[in-house]
């Protein structure tokens, strides 16, 4: 729908089309009804004229004669719409009076059952004009003449057509006036019905930008309530998002304040020192604090990137990715770090496993899982990266593990375990956010005799890559 489209206008246009169809069908029905009524009326007149002619038949010297009365002759006069013709045929088929070339009834034309007479009605063409003809059979019984005479009376269809047109025009005027009145009434009714929407629009427009309270639904029509409920649910989601952002900003500011204060204090102590050895120690400690700050900043940026990545996935920007290939490439990249810490890194990925996802976020997820496992795996330990069908990723280590009562807490932002020595508490929180963006399920499992297995289950890609 275009921006300027109007619900009222769309409704009126569709109703106008519907009324036009009804008007057309009603007019056609009225026209054919008028034609039938005109045919019935004019057929009765034709039959009456034929009977009037039949009443004037007589025999003279064995010959049939026709004495057409004045009333019948008056009926045959010209008018502005059509003309009437007649013909009288003797029992032997000879023309007695009238027009000699009036068309006869087609073979098989049935006699009418509408009137008590031996009459047949049929349509024909006479002198280039369409005519309606009645053929009346009149028995003749005279001393010198016995048989059945035939009287034909024909009328051009002009009068019938004129009557039908007049009825059609009258019907069109009445139906058109009725349609226009109906459209006006519908316009008024729709305008009244849309007033609650206008009230709702004003209520939303007059609100402050930070007012996310539920919209009132008192007095609204039942059809508008689903819209108000959807808006209120959307406002509730927005409020939750804003609250999470505010909480995140507050937590990030708190997390940044402490190492920055420590770094500043260390630098101030170094400035007061007079020995070069103390200066060097200060610089080394400042470098360590800077490394932690850099890691924290990178993790905060990762959390920010997750929002845009999740939006891209929702809008159809996901790509088909081979999870096995991704794990293989990242495992090779992390192998030197694992070797330096004395940890054996193994990869179990025998076949391609295709999923829909965002490559940058999936790299971030896998990097955080491997980095977290390396941080808790002692020297000489083992770390296994495993990819299984249909779409399962596992990272398993033989470190101390995580107690079951903390399995959900570790996915919260800035949560640190009591036994944890360092870090900002964002690694697994980032993993959890990426899993939610991909609608994947993540779970933690204890490994006997000690260790932890992190299991991520994705929705598998149904089609093979092209």
| Domain residue limits, the chain | 7-166, 225-307, 318-457
| Non-local CB neighbours of 45 within 8 Å, separated by 6+ positions | 75, 155
User: What's the pLDDT at 77?
Assistant: 44
Residue 192: Cβ within 10 Å count? 9
In this prediction, residues 130-146 reach a mean pLDDT of 86
Indicate whether 286 pLDDT > 80. Answer: no
- 302 vs 100 pLDDT, higher one: 100
Q: pLDDT tens digits for 139-157?
A: 888 777 888 999 999 888 8
Secondary structure of residue 366 in the 3-state scheme: helix
User: To the nearest whole number, what is the mean pLDDT of the chain?
Assistant: 80
Tokens of 167: 């009825």
> Architecture of 225-307 per CATH?
Orthogonal Bundle (1.10)
Q: Look up tokens 């096995």; give the residue.
A: 324
| Rounded Cα distance, 259 and 218, in Å | 53
User: What's the pLDDT at 310?
Assistant: 66
User: What's the pLDDT at 243?
Assistant: 76
On the question of a cis peptide bond just before residue 390, with omega within 30 degrees of 0, the verdict is: yes
Tokens of 339: 């070797």
> Architecture of 318-457 per CATH?
2-Layer Sandwich (3.30)
Q: pLDDT tens digits for 374-422?
A: 888 888 899 999 999 889 999 999 888 888 888 777 777 767 665 444 5
Q: Look up tokens 């845009």; give the residue.
A: 308
Which residues is 22 bridged to in the sheet? Answer: none
**Phi/psi at 261 (5° precision):** -65, -40
| Rounded Cα distance, 69 and 342, in Å | 134
Indicate whether 80 pLDDT > 70. Answer: no
| Rounded Cα distance, 85 and 126, in Å | 10
Which residues is 26 bridged to in the sheet? Answer: none
Count of alpha carbons within 13 angstroms of residue 96, beta-carbon side:
24
Prediction pTM value: 0.47
Which residues is 97 bridged to in the sheet? Answer: 88
| Non-local CB neighbours of 81 within 8 Å, separated by 6+ positions | 156, 158, 159, 161, 162
DSSP readout, 233-302?
HHHHHHHHHHHHHHHHHHHHHHHHHHHHHHHHHHHHHHHH--SHHHHHHHHHHHHHHHHHHHHHHHHHHH
**Phi/psi at 66 (5° precision):** -125, 120
Residue-wise burial string across 287-325, b where 16 or more C-beta atoms lie within 10 A, e elsewhere? eebeeebebbeebbebbebbeebbebbeeeebeebbbbe
């Amino acid at each position: 729908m275009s921006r300027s489209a109007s619900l009222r206008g769309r409704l009126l246009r569709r109703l106008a089309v519907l009324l036009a169809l009804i008007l057309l069908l009603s007019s056609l029905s009225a026209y054919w009804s008028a034609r039938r009524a005109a045919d019935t009326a004019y057929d009765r007149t034709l039959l009456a004229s034929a009977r009037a002619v039949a009443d004037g038949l007589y025999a003279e010297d064995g010959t049939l004669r026709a004495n057409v009365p004045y009333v019948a002759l008056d009926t045959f006069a010209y008018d502005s719409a059509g003309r009437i013709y007649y013909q009288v045929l003797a029992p032997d088929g000879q023309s007695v009076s009238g027009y000699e070339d009036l068309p006869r009834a087609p073979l098989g034309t049935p006699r009418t059952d509408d009137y008590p007479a031996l009459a047949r009605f049929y349509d024909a063409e006479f002198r280039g004009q369409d005519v309606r003809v009645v053929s009346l059979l009149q028995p003749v019984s005279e001393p010198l003449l016995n048989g059945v005479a035939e009287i034909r009376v024909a009328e051009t269809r002009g009068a019938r057509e004129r009557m039908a047109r007049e009825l059609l025009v009258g019907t069109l005027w009445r139906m058109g006036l009725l349609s226009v009145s109906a459209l006006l009434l519908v316009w008024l009714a729709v305008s009244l019905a849309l007033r609650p929407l206008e009230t709702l629009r004003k209520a939303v427009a007059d609100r402050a930008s930070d007012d996310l309270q539920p919209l009132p639904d008192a007095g609204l029509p039942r059809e508008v309530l689903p819209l108000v409920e959807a808006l209120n649910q959307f406002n509730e989601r927005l409020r939750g998002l804003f609250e999470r952002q505010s909480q995140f900003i507050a937590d990030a500011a708190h997390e940044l304040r402490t190492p920055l204060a420590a770094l500043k204090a260390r630098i101030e102590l170094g400035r007061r020192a007079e020995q070069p050895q103390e200066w060097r120690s200060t610089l080394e400690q400042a470098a360590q604090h800077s490394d932690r700050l850099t890691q924290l900043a990178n993790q905060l940026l990762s959390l920010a990137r997750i929002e845009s990545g999740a939006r891209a996935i929702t809008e159809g920007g996901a790509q088909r990715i081979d999870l096995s290939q991704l794990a293989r490439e990242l495992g090779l990249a992390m192998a030197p770090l694992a070797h330096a810490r004395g940890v054996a890194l193994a990869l179990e990925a025998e076949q391609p496993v295709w999923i829909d996802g965002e490559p940058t976020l999936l790299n971030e997820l896998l990097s955080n899982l491997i980095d977290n496992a390396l941080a808790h795996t002692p020297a000489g330990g083992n770390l296994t990266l495993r990819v299984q069908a249909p779409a399962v990723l596992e990272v398993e280590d033989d470190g101390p593990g995580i107690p079951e009562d903390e399995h959900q807490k570790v996915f919260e932002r800035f949560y640190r375990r009591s036994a944890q020595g360092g870090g900002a508490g964002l690694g697994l929180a980032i993993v959890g956010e990426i899993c939610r963006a991909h609608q994947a399920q993540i779970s933690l499992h204890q490994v006997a005799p000690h260790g932890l297995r992190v299991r991520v289950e994705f929705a598998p890609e149904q089609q093979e890559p092209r």
